[in-house]
Structure 1
C-alpha cells in the first residue's frame, strides 16, 4: 500500500471521515507478513485492530485462529453481497458466508515495453500468449540487442499458482483446500513443462531472476529497460504507466502467458479486510459502515483508477464501462477481462486455502530456485512435492 496506492487509500479514508463523522486511523506496515504476525500476536494480547488487511494467501491460517467474525455478519442488513463479482467473491466465501471483505484484489498479467518490441521487429499488438511464444520474443529482443534479457518476474508462489490455474490444475487435493484438508501436492505434466521451460530460459540468459519475493527489483529491471517483458500484479498498472512515461517508453498490459493454449483462468491475488471477534455491537455497526463504504461504486472507481486493482462490484464495473474508462485506458481493461474470462466455478481458479500457506509458499519458492539450476529436474520436482506434503501433514495432523 505504498506510493500512489497509499495516497488513494488515504484520500478514501478522509472522504469517509467527512461523510460519517467517524475517524479512520490507519497504520501502514511494510509487508503483509508483518500485518499477519502482528495480528496473531495481538489476538494473544487483546490489542487487536478493529480491521486488518491480510493477503489472500494467509486466509486459512487466520480463519483457523477462530478469532475473526465473518463480515457477512457485520455489513448492514440492506447490503447486497451479490454485488461482488463472482470471480472475487468465490474465494472469500467460506462455508457459504463472506468471511472477509474483498478490496485490493488482483491477478498476475504481463507488461511489455512497446518501443522495445517495435525496435526488435515484434508486434506489440500481438504479444506472446504461451511460454513458447515468450521464449521466441525473448530470443528476438536479446539477439537484436534491444534488451539484455527477455523477461523477469518476482520468484513468488503466486506466479506458479497462476500457471496451475490457467491449466485447470489443482495444486492440492481437497480442491486446493476449499473442500477438505489437503494432504497431496500435485505436480502434473504441465508443471514439469513449466520448469523445463523456466530452466531453459535461465540457461540461455533469456530470463533473469530478481530474487525471492523481489517485487521491486523485478519492476526496476523493467523500468530500466533491462527486460522487455514483466510478469507482475495488475495492481502495478498505474505505477508502471507513470514510471515508463518518465523513462520515455510506453508500457502495454497483456494477458498472462499460459504454459500452452489452455486458459481456464487466473487465481485471485491481493488482500481483504478481516474483523476480529469480541467487539461491541456499537463498534461492529461503525465498522460495518466503513466496510459498506469501501464497496460503494464511487469508492471502487476511485480505488481502481488510482491503483490498478480491479473494481470488485458489478455496479462499479458498469459505471466505469459507461464512462468509457476502459476504452480510453486499455491497460486497465486487460486486468478485468482476464479475471472475468476465467471460469469462477472451476476450483483450480480459486487460490489455495491452506493453513500452512506461508510454509508451503517458502518451499515452492526455494525449490523453484533449485529446480531451474538442477541437473535432474524430475528429482527436484519430486523433492518439492515431498517437502510440501510434509508441511501439510505436520499442520493438519
Structure 2
C-alpha cells in the first residue's frame, strides 16, 4: 500500500470514563473502509482545546478537524491562522450539496433542528455536532408516591407544590430539590422564558456586544431560586459547579428532585436501581407565568479546517459524515446518553425499539423539539462564555451563601461580564482571540 493521506483530528475529551474509546474505534473503522487515509486522532481536555489549537495555529500547524465545546463556539468562529485568515470553513459549504463523499452518505442536512440552529450562521451549518445535551428533571418517584403527589412537576409552581408535599412526609428527604450552581441553568432559565443573554439577537445574527444579566427574566429566576433556598426547599451544597455533590444528595435520598444534564441518564438509572427507588426522567420545569420558548443545548461540534489540501479535505468531510451516520450516531447515544444528532439516528433507535425499552432516553430530544426555534431558545453565542459563566455562578453563590441582594448583585455581575465581553471583542478586532481570558471554557 502506498503512502496514506493523514487527516489530523483533534478531539475534545469530556473526561467521562472511557469517553475516548468509541471515538478511537470509529477512526480505526474508517481507516478500514478507506485504507488510503490515516485518521490521526489526538485528544485534549475540552477546557484546554481552544488555546492549544490557537497556539498550534500561531506555529503554522492546524488540524483538519477540531472539536470545540459549545461554550467555545464563538472562539472557533473567530480563530485565525498566522496570516489572520479564518482557521475554519463552514462544513455545509464544503459539502457543496453533495449526497455522498468517498461513498459515505452525507448527513449534514439531517442534523436535528435544535442542534442545527445552535451551530448555524446565516442558515449554513458551520460545524458538525457530535455531542448534544440539555438539562432534565430527575425524580424519586417512590418518595412522590409516599407523599401523595400525583404527576411529575412540569412547571416551577408544580415543583414547589410537590416539594411542599415531600416536606410534610415523615422521615422524608431533608430538602425538595437540588441542582448545581452552574452556568447552564441560567441559560435554561432565560431560554425557556424567551429572553436573550446577549444583544443583539443573542449573538446569532451579528456579534454579541451587550450582556444582559440583570433583566426581568434573569431576576425572576434568581429570586425564585433564592426563595427556594431560604425556605429550605432547595439544597445548596455550598460549592460552585458541584455536579457530583448534587448527584450524591439525590441518590442518597436527601432530595426528591434534581436538575441535571441528560448525560446523567444512564448513571442515574443505575444508581437509582441500586438505591432501591423508582426513577422518572422528565422535562426541565419552566416558569408557567410566561410563554415557554425552549430549552438550550450544550455539547460539542467538529470544525473543518480552512485551506486544506483537497485530498485531505475530502477525507475529513467523509469522516465527519461517517461519525454521524445513523448507525454510529445511534450507537454513540446508547453508550453515552447524548442526544442523537440526526433525525435518521432517532428513527433508527425508534425502529429498533430502543426508546420503548429505554423511555428515559427519549426525553431529551423530545424536550428540545418542543422549543419554538427562537433566537433566545437557541442559546447565546458570545466571547468569553466560560468567564461569563464564572461571573454568574459567583454572583449566585453570594446570594445563596452570603445573603447578597439579587438585584444589586446581578447588576454588578452584568457589569463584570460586560467588561469580559468587551475585552474579548477588542482582542478579536485587533487580530483574533489571543489573551488567556479569550479561551476560558466552562
TM over 0.5: yes
Q: Is the counterpart of residue 62 in structure 1 residue 84 in structure 2?
A: no
Counterpart for residue 144 of structure 2 = 117
Match of 1:81 among 85, 92, 108: 108
Between the aligned partners of 1:18 and 1:238, the Cα distance in structure 2 is 31
Match of 2:191 among 146, 165, 179: 165
Distance apart, 1:48 and its partner CA: 4.1
Counterpart for residue 238 of structure 1 = 266
In terms of fraction of residues, the more strand-rich structure is 2
Counterpart for residue 52 of structure 1 = 66
5 Å-filtered alignment, 1:370-381, equals 370-372=398-400, 373-381=402-410
Compare CA radii of gyration and give the structure with the larger one. Answer: 2
Between the aligned partners of 2:201 and 2:223, the Cα distance in structure 1 is 26
Q: Is the counterpart of residue 136 in structure 1 residue 161 in structure 2?
A: yes
Contact 1:8 1:302 in 2 (8 A): no
Counterpart for residue 43 of structure 1 = 57
Match of 1:201 among 225, 228, 234: 228
Match of 1:325 among 345, 351, 354: 354
Q: Is the counterpart of residue 384 in structure 1 residue 384 in structure 2?
A: no
Contact 2:136 2:262 in 1 (8 A): yes
When the two structures are aligned, how many residues end up with a matched partner?
A: 393
Range moving further from structure 2, 290-299 or 352-361: 352-361
- Is the partner of 2:257 in helix, strand or coil? strand
Segments of structure 1 that go 5 or more residues without pairing to the other structure are: none
Distance apart, 1:315 and its partner CA: 1.5
Segments of structure 2 that go 5 or more residues without pairing to the other structure are: 1-13, 80-85, 100-105, 427-442
CA-to-aligned-CA distance 1:62-121 (integer Å, 9 cap, x gap): 211221222224448322532111221111112443221111111111111222222333
Between the aligned partners of 1:202 and 1:90, the Cα distance in structure 2 is 35
Distance apart, 1:223 and its partner CA: 2.6
Counterpart for residue 83 of structure 2 = none
1:148 and 1:52, CA in 2 relative to 1: closer, same or farther beyond 3 A? farther
- Is the partner of 1:147 in helix, strand or coil? coil
Contact 1:51 1:276 in 2 (8 A): yes
Contact 1:4 1:307 in 2 (8 A): no
Distance apart, 1:185 and its partner CA: 2.7
Between the aligned partners of 1:69 and 1:358, the Cα distance in structure 2 is 24
Contact 1:4 1:306 in 2 (8 A): no
- Is the partner of 1:149 in helix, strand or coil? coil
- Is the partner of 1:342 in helix, strand or coil? coil
1:38 and 1:251, CA in 2 relative to 1: closer, same or farther beyond 3 A? farther
In terms of fraction of residues, the more helix-rich structure is 1
Q: Is the counterpart of residue 264 in structure 1 residue 264 in structure 2?
A: no
Range moving further from structure 2, 329-338 or 196-205: 196-205
Between the aligned partners of 1:313 and 1:83, the Cα distance in structure 2 is 5
Counterpart for residue 216 of structure 1 = 244
Distance apart, 1:47 and its partner CA: 4.5
RMSD: 2.3
Contact 1:190 1:259 in 2 (8 A): no
5 Å-filtered alignment, 1:225-304, equals 225-260=253-288, 262-304=291-333
Distance apart, 1:53 and its partner CA: 2.1
Question: Higher relative contact order at CA 8 Å, sep ≥6: structure 1 or structure 2?
Answer: 1
Range moving further from structure 2, 287-296 or 185-194: 185-194
Match of 1:33 among 47, 54, 57: 47
Contact 1:57 1:351 in 2 (8 A): no
Q: TM-score, normalised by structure 1?
A: 0.91
Distance apart, 1:366 and its partner CA: 1.2
